[in-house]
Amino acid sequence: MHRGVVAALMLTLAGAIPAGLYLGTASAGPPPPVLVNFTIPHHPPTAGRSFAGLAIVNESNAETLGSIECDAEVAGKVLRAREQTFFTPGHTFSQVVVCSWRIPAGAGGKTLLLANGDHRAHVDVADSHYGSPEFSWRVKRTA
């Protein structure tokens, strides 16, 4: 018998652990596969220009990306995302969605956040909901 189970049994019998509370291990198997990858470019955004700042990559080979939210904000102003969807030839499901934003001309030196309130970029695929990490960039001033 496993030592942890024996210890829990002894504590239960001694009254230290209520009899209804069991310490056990569960084997749930491997975690489900990650079906979405969030990638960002290596270059920072520039004030007054469009910035393609996020690519949402569909790692599923059978499901389409849906319910995409990827608005950003700079200096407290929400920037609505422009979403471009790309498909693999011969398939009907989306493979990549690129989110881009028009960076205000006066945003140089400020921080662009891929976060709006309490959420980040979100996407649904295959009945699962995925949220991106929180990304931020320092906006370059135009020359």
Residue 119 has pLDDT above 50, yes or no: yes
* Phi, psi (rounded to 5 degrees) for 106: -90, 15
Q: Hey, which residues does 135 pair with through a beta bridge?
A: 114
pLDDT in tens, 55-112: 999 888 778 888 899 999 999 899 999 999 888 787 777 789 999 999 999 999 999 9
pLDDT in tens, 5-32: 333 333 333 444 444 444 455 567 777 6
- The DSSP secondary-structure symbol of 77 reads E
Q: Tell me how long the chain is.
A: 143
CB 80 within 8 A of CB 132: no
| 115-130 exposure pattern, b = at least 16 Cβ within 10 A, e = fewer | bbeeebbebbbeeeeb
